[in-house]
Amino acid sequence: MKQSAFIVSLFFVAMIAGYAIYELVFGNPANFADFATKGTKHTPLNGNLLGTVYVGGPLVALLIALSIMVTAVIIERAITLRKAQGKQAIPKFFKSVIDQIRNGKIDEAVASCDKQRGSVANVLKSALTRYQEVTSDKSSIDKEKQLVEVERAVEETLMLETPLLEKKLIALSTIASIATMVGLLGTVVGMIRSFKAMAATGGAPDAIGLATGISEALINTAGGLIVGIAGIVAYNFYVNKVDNFTFQIDEAKYNVMQLLKSK
């Protein structure tokens, strides 16, 4: 599935789930003290966190949806990067392949790459298989051009593997930024409601309206910050992990090319 289609589908699913959680879980009548007598959801039970969050208003549903999206992208990236690592630890796998290449066991090295899988294994396999192809007929291509062909095959594989590692990281960063802005919007809306409650009457302000507005402001601020912090931390963690993968791939490519040149 393309990245844009994945994000769009995830957005609609998260919105539906977020609204359902907001109304059915946080908005459960059992969370409010005034529902049985007045049929309203303005006064949460003392110490009831779910009812308190519900008072934050409809933007809470959007924040719940954004939190679902952040969680989904984090899980998807964790699974993808785990697959990119392969079955064995990369240093152990790389050492075994290097030993096989030094001993001239190219077929065994290719078999090890097939068994390992992952991004590093795919890059090494492309180099080894292309090396086998260009060296099978020694009279047609000289040694210098053989190595150029091998390097070209490696670069083509890198162009395919690198986007897979970096995919959806921009979406994760964007969702975190949007969540922070939504929290700020909820803060502004809540403060507007508070000042409106204060100015509604010429005498004493509307205490319920004032409390509701302040609650809405603070709850949305907290929700936006929680989702934003989680998204930014996950984004930086995965960027660092991708950079580490890229370094390992470059190191593997360099060492393998040096070994093939020596042959």
Nearest to 106 by CA among 86, 77, 127: 127
* pLDDT at position 91 over 90: no
* pLDDT at position 3 over 90: no
Q: Rounded to an integer, what distance in angstroms lies between the CA atom of residue 216 and that of residue 223?
A: 10
Q: Rounded to an integer, what distance in angstroms lies between the CA atom of residue 226 and that of residue 15?
A: 18
pTM equals 0.83
* More confident site: 135 or 229: 229
The proportion of the chain whose per-residue pLDDT surpasses 70, expressed as a percent, equals 90
* Mean model confidence pLDDT for the chain: 85
What integer pLDDT is reported at residue 204 of this predicted model? 63
pLDDT in tens, 71-86: 999 999 999 888 888 8
Domain ranges of the chain: 1-263
User: Both tokens of residue 80?
Assistant: 């993808």
pLDDT in tens, 136-184: 765 556 777 777 888 888 888 888 888 888 888 999 999 999 999 999 9
DSSP 86: -
**Residues 3, 171: contact at Cβ < 8 Å?**
yes
pLDDT in tens, 196-214: 777 765 556 666 667 777 8
Q: Rounded to an integer, what distance in angstroms lies between the CA atom of residue 188 and that of residue 205?
A: 19
Q: Rounded to an integer, what distance in angstroms lies between the CA atom of residue 40 and that of residue 28?
A: 11
Q: Rounded to an integer, what distance in angstroms lies between the CA atom of residue 161 and that of residue 121?
A: 11
**Residues 206, 200: contact at Cβ < 8 Å?**
yes
